[in-house]
Structure 1
Amino acid sequence: MADSSQPFDLITIGRTGVDLSPLPSGVPLGDVQKFGKFPGGSAAGVSVAAARLGRSAAVITHAVDASFAIRAARILWITGTGLGEEPSRSATLAALKARGKAGTTVLHLDRKPALAHDTARKDPEDARQCHAEALRHATVAVGDLDACETVTGIGEARACADALLAAGVELAVVKQGTKGVLAVHRDGTTAEVPPVPIEAVNGLGADDAFGGALCHGLLSGWELERIIRYADAAGALVASRPADSSTMPTPEEVEGLLNGAPS
């Protein structure tokens, strides 16, 4: 946590929760005898990931008068699921307006079709309009290709990234699974990073590790390709581990994977 007189490096707004993971990993669900309980939720996971990398981070999970902290934070991270229904939609949009594009504002396009409040499942046009409003206030958009297509209506990665830039952001990051990650900046800088080869154990938390590491790289002022490679490696590390937020990687672990050391 940061000193109360200092702005946070990162504030996330969104959900927290508890993830139940089968123990041991790699066992068919029908044969699982017990589950491990781990802190979860996208907003919480991104904050934990950034904190593990040495950043001061905080999470806002319900409507509070935090406009000063939101404006002062070096990065504000919001989630697409927060736009799903009221009252979180109004609270999220109010936070974006209070932010006023101060610093870096990241919109995570984290569509969750299995959740009851997935707006795109209920009303795709409403989802597009709501995200369009949010994108006008954001400086970075990040999400997998499916979520980005839901927002833009475009299924090809580069065209989708261009559409996100046209919607108002300065940096668009499109994750393409086995095809790697594409990042395009408004200044014309582009990074295309192949996936890190790992044996996936648990998909929970990989997106959050990517997000926390993305924020760390942006705060560090690195060039775009280094940021995306670092974030991709952080996500891969968590995907190779049985838990999520409790196994977010340290800087040494990320650098070790990038340099070929065992994880």
Structure 2
Amino acid sequence: MAKEHSLDLIAIGRSCADLYGQQTGGRLEDMLSFAKYVGGSPTNTAVGAARLGLRTGLLTRVGEDHFGRFIGEQLAREGVSTQGVIADPQRLTALAFLGIRDPDTFPLVFYRENCADMALCVEDVDPAFIRSAGAVLISGTHLSQPQVFEASLQACRIAREAGARVIFDVDYRPVLWGLAGRDRGDDRFVAHEGVTARLQEALPLCDLIVGTEEEIHILGGTTDTLAALRAIRARTDACLVCKRGAAGCSVFAAAIPARLDDGLTGRGFAVEVFNVLGAGDAFMAGFLRGWLRGEPLEVCSDWANACGAIVVSRHGCAPAMPTWVELQAFLRGGDRPFRLREDAALEQLHWATTRSGRYDELMVLAVDHRSQFEELCRQTGADPARLPAFKALALRAVDRVAGGDPRFGVLLDGRYGMRALEAAADHPYWIGRPIELPGSCPLAFEGSADVATELASWPYNHVVKCLVLCHPDDADELRERQERQLLRLHDAARKTRHELLLEIIASRNGQIDDHTVSRAMQRLYDLGLRPDWWKLEPSDSAAAWRNIERTIAANDPHCRGVVLLGLSAPEEELAASFRAAAQVPIVKGFAVGRTIFADAAEQWLAGRIDDAGAIDDLAARFAALVEAWRAARTHGAPADREIA
């Protein structure tokens, strides 16, 4: 009976922060801003394979620094085991600066002087961790340093002794072997007998070897591809895979034939090459998804080529990796644009299936109000400069109730809530932040005149909340103006990688019935809007909630869900709406504000209670709504229970 492993794959080697130029079509010297992703070939493959459903882990070192913590946190979000990620207090995390100039030019500069991942050593190889996986993956670049070479081969030997398989990604970067200038990180081939000899030492341990034609050349010691393959075959019985770009790949499970095309040839996919960086790691992830699950080599090749085609069309390496759901949709075919990143349906599927975290429940204290707090200041004679302090107290109240539970959250604005937003960064809570100008109808945005520029200054974990006062029967001019704004916002949020919560209040613009809100939502879906969250008015109509759920299911089955707003309703009314909404699974919780904070804010601004009193009041009211929501979901409370 085969041994059951807790992991399918452990990738060993490079792990860095990729800083990707956000401007394309120019020199790296002329790029002004950079997007930050996890990077390094084995790390990318671990992420890609995890997205495809494999249980993956990583053995590497990162610095005990901000970038190292980023890599660890992102790996955890991707579902990659970090048991083998070692924090090195003596060295910094490696960096790579990358750019996209034209279809053939991708400038790349490695910052890897005495970096953490190149300090991996034999002592870092935990035999129990290696034995927990059905396969290990090593990469050629990591074999360039003696101690990393020994660590990698030690892991391979342990794996083989345990009956696991060994995969070798040739991953040749001449600059990291000292064979090219430091500004030549994108060079793919420099012949060198010493490199060939070093790489070939790993061959007897391997079960699968994957490389581009240039990488096959360095591994085989000749620029004749067939001769190189035969030289490799003389040293190993491993399955050999030669990646051939747009032509797909050729796979050789046994003897090397007379022509490359006489091998098992996996089909290619015709897409525009936007960015070759990362496509090989995606290829490896796709191939391993099949190979480690016992699929025929033809299927492995198809999946590998498809993953490479998807990633070559996108910005970035690890974040561009497709999910299993996305890969299956791509393979089903259909009429896809040559510029694959313009396939709106595929891009939506990618976005929706790569969001981090899952929310089966979400309970939010909303204190993002601005005009309402300004009115409270006028009523009490308080200085608005005190408002940031009160909003910071609200965060402390949430923390008292939540106790670190990520199913809780806060809605905070940047005008008066910035100090609280900054403090919230140290907590695991969901964070929402408004973008709309309070009370605007037609919708207008707060901050920069360009909404994308505004969102670019927000941390990525701030969910963009936009309240729109709209009704399906609004006049054409009003509706069209608001829809143009929402389309701008949706596009901006996707480009800045922020989730979007749309809050619809229809009752201010007309009469509502059981179909009003679902009609308004359908109109927005028809425009191509796919918000990650909806925030909707409370209602005690079960029929209205069923209509809302059907609308979401028909248009965006990957939607995160709905949270209920409060509209200053008394707690008893909210509890009644909770009981109706909680029976609909798409409703995940609530984001309520004035029902909770109004009294405490007035008392605190007037000086009748102190900070501790305000926190006590806020926490008690918030906790009561949490209890009411949970009781509604479990049917555990009497229908007319009074909320204290």
**TM-score with structure 1 setting the length:** 0.88
Larger radius of gyration: 2
Alpha-carbon contact 2:135-2:166 (below 8 Å) kept: yes
Q: What is the CA–CA distance in structure 1 between the aligned matches of 2:242 and 2:225, rounded to whole Å? A: 7
CA distance in 1, matches of 2:132, 2:33: 43
Please state if 1:104 is matched with 2:158. no
Provide the secondary structure at the position in 2 that maps to 1:220: coil
Residue-by-residue CA offset, 1:173-201 (whole Å, 9 max, x unaligned):
01123433111102889411243211122
The offset of 1:155, in angstroms, is: 3.1
Matched letter for residue 229 of structure 2: A
Give secondary structure in 2 for the equivalent of 1:174.
strand
Structure 1: any 5+ residue segments left out of the alignment? Answer: none
Match of 1:169 in 2: 237
Bigger Cα displacement from structure 2, 8-17 vs 84-93? 84-93
| CA distance, structure 2, for counterparts of residue 122 and residue 250 of structure 1 | 34
Partner Cα separation in structure 1 for residue 270 and residue 237 of structure 2? 30
Q: Distance in 1 between matches of 2:191 and 2:145?
A: 11
Contact 2:16 2:39 in 1 (8 A): yes
User: Which residue number in structure 1 is paired with residue 136 of structure 2?
Assistant: 76
In the alignment, the residues of structure 1 paired with residue 178 and residue 153 of structure 2 have an alpha-carbon distance, to the nearest angstrom, of 16
Instruction: Check conservation: 2:174, 2:190, Cα contact below 8 A.
Output: no
| Structure 1 residue 121: Cα displacement | 8.2
1:42-121 superposed matches below 5 A: 42-61=41-60, 62-63=120-121, 64-100=124-160, 102-117=163-178
Cα distance, 1:247 vs. partner?
2.1
One-letter amino acid of the structure 2 residue matched with residue 12 of structure 1: A
- 1:130 is matched with 198
For structure 1, which segment, 112-121 or 57-66, has the greater mean C-alpha deviation from structure 2 after superposition? 112-121
User: 5 Å matches for 1:1-263?
Assistant: 6-24=5-23, 26-29=24-27, 32-61=31-60, 62-63=120-121, 64-100=124-160, 102-117=163-178, 124-186=192-254, 190-261=263-334, 262=336, 263=346
What is the Cα deviation at residue 75 of structure 1? 1.5
Moved more, 158-167 or 39-48: 158-167
Equivalent pairs counted in the alignment come to: 258
Normalising by structure 2, we get a TM-score of 0.38
Q: Secondary structure of the residue that 1:225 maps to in structure 2?
A: helix
Which gives a bigger RCO, structure 1 or 2 (Cα 8 Å, sep 6+)? Answer: 1
Instruction: Give 1:96 deviation, angstroms.
Output: 1.8
Q: Deviations over 1:221-249 (max 9, x none)?
A: 11111101110110111111112101210
8 A Cα contact 1:80 1:109, kept in partner: yes
Alignment partner of 2:169: what SS?
strand
Distance 1:126 1:224, change over 3 A: same
* 2:133 counterpart letter in structure 1: A
SS in 2 for 1:147: helix
How many angstroms does 1:255 deviate by?
2.3
> In 2 relative to 1, CA 197–67 (structure 1 residues): closer, same or farther, beyond 3 Å?
same
Gap change, CA 1:116 and 1:109, over 3 Å in 2:
closer
Question: CA shift at 1:49, angstroms?
Answer: 0.4
- In structure 1, C-alpha distance between the alignment counterparts of 2:155 and 2:174, rounded to whole Å: 24
Question: How far apart, CA to CA, are the structure 2 residues paired with 1:225 and 1:105?
Answer: 20
Q: Once structures 1 and 2 are overlaid, which stretch shifts more, 202-211 or 51-60?
A: 202-211
Q: What is the CA–CA distance in structure 1 between the aligned matches of 2:131 and 2:191, rounded to whole Å?
A: 31
Q: Give the aligned residue type for 2:218.
A: T
Amino acid in the other structure paired with 2:192: P
Q: Deviations over 1:136-166 (max 9, x none)?
A: 0111111111111111123344443333232
Whether the 8 Å CA contact 1:157–1:182 is kept in 2: the answer is: no
Q: What one-letter code is carried by the residue in structure 2 that aligns with 1:226?
A: V
1:27 to partner: Cα distance = 3.2
1:59-102 per-residue CA deviation (whole Å, 9 max, x = no partner) reads 10133142232234111100011111122111112222222262
Alignment partners' CA distance in 2, 1:116 and 1:231: 27
